[in-house]
Structure 1
Amino acid sequence: MRVNPVPATPLSDAVREIVEVGRFLSVRNFVPATSGNFSRRLDARTAAVTRSGVDKGELVEADVLVADLHAPPPEGASAETPLHLQLYRDRPDAHAVLHTHSVVSALLSNLRLAEGELVLQGFELLKALGDTRTHEAAVSIPIFPNDQDIPRLASKVTALLEQRPELVAYLIAGHGLYTWGRSMAEARRHVVALEHLLTYELEKMKVLR
């Protein structure tokens, strides 16, 4: 079967998209302090990734590094960069990966960790996720325990993605959200939609107590 080549994205375009999404998500308090990390695929071999320890709402060109998908992350990159690179290797159609640290994603992932996943259903906003076309769908968001051994965590994510090609996101308990898209615009839409959906779910839990 013929595999379509991954179209190349100029580094300057990737930097612009990362800087813009950083400002967009920062004003919504999805990446407080220096939390979170973003990336944008450049081609089949490389991706642009954010540098560690910087405020994502104040990113500049020097805060974006180039990483080889099949090599150790570049010096200065976030310790979580392997999670981004693994997603690009596992999902050839993923062109942007966004990791956020909102209050609701950290709290709800802790509260629902024992279940291993959060199943969202009955919400109209589900249609903003990937190829979901109806509010009647059930969308699963896996929840992984937090782990400082990032390669070990990445291997767990890979194992699950192999079984669940429909997934568009996952949560790390007490930590935050990872989501991706076929473009930066789609990945950003996933973040906004999921943050609202997680908030709906948390409010529903309060009502049903």
Structure 2
Amino acid sequence: MSFVTDTEHARTPSGTSDIAWDKAVEQIIHAGRRMDQRGWVPATAGNLSVRLADGRIAVTRSGGHKGFLTRQGVIEVGLDGTSIRPKDRPSAETLLHCQIYAHFPDAGAVLHGHSVASTVLSMASTDSELYLADYEVLKVFEGQTTHETRLAVPVFPNDQDIARLSRSVALFLNDMKAGYIIRGHGVYVWGPDMDTALARLEGLEFLLACELEQAKLRAAVQEA
């Protein structure tokens, strides 16, 4: 596997040059590398997408390592998650990206990662929500202006039936300020553009890492 080179030329699924598509692909490649550097997309885990102004959705192809994405690793899908070109295979979880785009008209990018913190914390409890309170970084999320707040991050059971999982998620989308977690699996965050989505992902992962460290400290104190 190798990184995309500056000489490679991105093209739309139809094969014609398209500046907007090129930009979306570059954003996905950059985000994939950044997520990989932080250990949030191990092996072939995770998926990333961008919605263009004209409604097209660029999403990572199924099975690729997100730290070594090339332009060929990004494909176009419709709002129902179906690839525009029959030979292109998106992840089954693409439907969860499309659900966010359909629900939030201003959503421009969706990121899904598999970090150690989100995996461990969501498996350590059977609670349907994980709470984050009094952290300065909470201000990265939409509508938050102070650290003196408490946000709930919904946790959904992992389900290989993505359509069924999406129906569970749909019930809570309106109240999600910091994204959501699939238990033992990973997080979903989004934003009006890739920069915002990436900032929110980094914020959430930082907070989850803090929560994991606090849980370790509490366990150490109890054992002492």
Please give the TM-score of this superposition, normalised by the length of structure 2: 0.84
Alpha-carbon distance change, 85 to 144 in structure 1, aligned in 2, over 3 angstroms: same
| Counterpart AA for 2:127 | E
The percentage of counterpart residues that share the same residue type is 43
- Matched with 2:108 is 95
CA RMSD in angstroms comes to 1.5
Instruction: Report the counterpart of residue 169 of structure 2 in structure 1.
Output: 157
C-alpha displacement at 1:196, in angstroms?
1.0
Q: Classify the secondary structure of the residue corresponding to 2:171.
A: helix
Residue 23 of structure 1 deviates from its aligned partner by 0.8
**CA shift digits 1:25-80 (9 cap, x unpaired):** 11111111111000001136321000011110111111111111135345410111
Is 1:39 the equivalent of 2:52?
Answer: no
Distance 1:207 1:161 in 2: 33
Alignment of 1:1-209 (within 5 A): 10-43=20-53, 45-70=55-80, 72-73=82-83, 75-112=88-125, 114-162=126-174, 164=175, 166-209=176-219
CA distance in 1: counterparts of 2:81 and 2:204, whole angstroms: 31
Partner residue in 2 for 1:3: none
- Number of residue pairs aligned between Structure 1 and Structure 2: 198
Unaligned runs of 5+ in 2: 1-18, 220-224
Q: Residue 128 of structure 1: CA displacement?
A: 1.6
Whether the 8 Å CA contact 1:86–1:154 is kept in 2: the answer is yes
CA contact (8 A) 1:98 1:178 kept: yes
